[in-house]
Amino acid sequence: MSIETLLCPADEAGVARAAALLRQGEIIALPTETVYGIAADARNGSAVKKIFAAKGRPQDNPLIVHIDDINMLPGLVSEFPERAQLLAAAFWPGPLTIIMPRGPEVADECCAGLDTVGIRMPSHPVVRQVIEASGCAFAAPSANLSGKPSPTTAQDVWTDMQGRLPLILDGGPCAVGVESTVVSVVGEKPVLFRPGYITLEDLERALGEEVELSPAILEKLAEGEVARSPGMKYKHYAPKADITILDGTFEQFKAYVEAHAGQDPACLCFTGEGAKLAPFPCVEYGREGDGADQSKHIFRSLRALDEQGDRVVYARCPRKDGVSMAVYNRLIRAAAFRVVAL
Ligand code: TXA
Ligand code: MG
């Protein structure tokens, strides 16, 4: 079934239209500071189901619930643990999702059978206006078709979601560009489930204790190992091209690509390197060593490779620490974990 999709500016009228649709149990797409999301009233199970249908998302992958005020927490969580309070004070509103004990009002469909729920208070003015106007805490995954790179522009949402939902609000490109940092405070120790703009070091500083790194973040889960954050187990962020990450210097990278010229490869490289890699087609994804800049462009760059029709792609390797950890985490998934040490 195809429905008519309206793409409209995220102005006052757009926000009012989005809020009305959410209250009616519909789903809509909207910008956040991280990536674009598809929102549904988190207390309305049949509305939340529409998100899974529109994205083609597996039912066992839980959704994040978005709020615009701490006062919205009662009913959504059964407890607001002390560690969560510290993190909220340090990073909310902002790109941090905190996994907490689930409250009774969250629709089962959000939680995929878990007794926890991820809560985030975004900072983007449009999301905040829509939450305020609708009065809904809303579940919102990234607004891509399941398995595709997350969208960071309204146009990319349109490409994936046109005909699948009634409204896309256009608020321009996203400032952060990768999805929120996800941290769990339900176990004995705090655990980082997904790296983002807020880094491991940021979390440890705010909590005053060590934060465990979930093993799925920097490498492929071993066969039979259980992902503690279900989203980490899926093939993800993947363009159509076969990407291989080459871990080494620029000179080593260039030599490797030249040695494989017969494959007709393209390059996913750092800003300013494209001209030096001629005649190979290149997409530049941010300044070398600058995780925040790379985060902002990585998903658009992965989509650009597809738009160019590239089949074999060699990618420069980001650092694995700080904000770059988020980029490395997304890129190894896009590359199906193919990393060659040069
Ligand atoms: O920045 C973001 O977080 C964006 C924007 C739209 O807010 N949303 C987003 O949602 O990235 P999504 O559904 O694409 O990613 C949610 C991630 C998944 O990896 C999921 O497995 C994990 O968070 N997650 C959600 N609830 C969880 C829970 N209760 N326990 C463990 N992991 C959870
Ligand atoms: Mg996603």
Q: Give residue-wise pLDDT tens across range 204-227.
A: 999 999 999 998 899 887 766 766
Q: Would you state the pLDDT for residue 134? A: 97
**Three-state secondary-structure class, residue 232:** helix
Residue 239 has pLDDT above 90, yes or no: no
For 97, the token pair is 């999702």
Asked whether residue 194 is marked as a ligand-binding residue, the answer is yes
330 alpha carbon – ligand 1 mean position (Å): 14
For 31, the token pair is 């910008």
Beta strands at 138-139 and 64-66: parallel, antiparallel or unpaired? antiparallel
62 alpha carbon – ligand 1 mean position (Å): 7
Helix (H) or strand (E) holding 331: helix 324-334
Q: Would you state the pLDDT for residue 240? A: 84
Average pLDDT, the chain: 95
Is 141 near ligand 1, meaning CB less than 6 Å away? yes
59-112 pLDDT per residue, tens: 888 999 999 999 999 999 999 999 999 999 999 999 999 999 999 999 999 998
Asked whether residue 123 is marked as a ligand-binding residue, the answer is no
259 alpha carbon – ligand 2 mean position (Å): 36
Q: Which of 255, 257, 220, 251 is nearest to 335 (CA)?
A: 220
Q: Would you state the pLDDT for residue 221? A: 77
Residues lining ion ligand 2 (Cβ < 5 A) are 142
- Going by pLDDT thresholds of 50, 70 and 90, the confidence category of residue 192 is very high
**Three-state secondary-structure class, residue 127:** helix
Q: Which of 263, 333, 265, 257 is nearest to 299 (CA)?
A: 333
Q: Would you state the pLDDT for residue 83? A: 98
Q: Would you state the pLDDT for residue 234? A: 56
Is 244 near ligand 1, meaning CB less than 6 Å away? no
Q: What does pTM read for this prediction? A: 0.96
For 333, the token pair is 């998934």
Asked whether residue 144 is marked as a ligand-binding residue, the answer is no
Q: Would you state the pLDDT for residue 60? A: 86
Residue whose CB lies within 8 A of the most ligand 1 atoms, among 57, 64, 127, for a mutation test: 64
Q: Would you state the pLDDT for residue 314? A: 98
120 alpha carbon – ligand 1 mean position (Å): 9
Nearest CA to ligand 1 atom 13: 141
Is 180 near ligand 1, meaning CB less than 6 Å away? yes
- Return d(Cα 130, Cα 10) in angstroms, integer: 10
Residue 198 has pLDDT above 80, yes or no: yes
249 alpha carbon – ligand 2 mean position (Å): 31
279-300 pLDDT per residue, tens: 999 999 999 999 999 999 999 9
User: What is the rounded average pLDDT of the residues 130-148?
Assistant: 96
Q: Among the atoms of ligand 1, which is closest to the Cα of residue 122?
A: 7
Dihedral pair phi/psi, residue 241, rounded to 5°:
-65, 155
Is 182 near ligand 1, meaning CB less than 6 Å away? yes
- Going by pLDDT thresholds of 50, 70 and 90, the confidence category of residue 232 is low
Residue 175 has pLDDT above 60, yes or no: yes
User: What is the rounded average pLDDT of the residues 144-161?
Assistant: 96
Q: Would you state the pLDDT for residue 223? A: 67
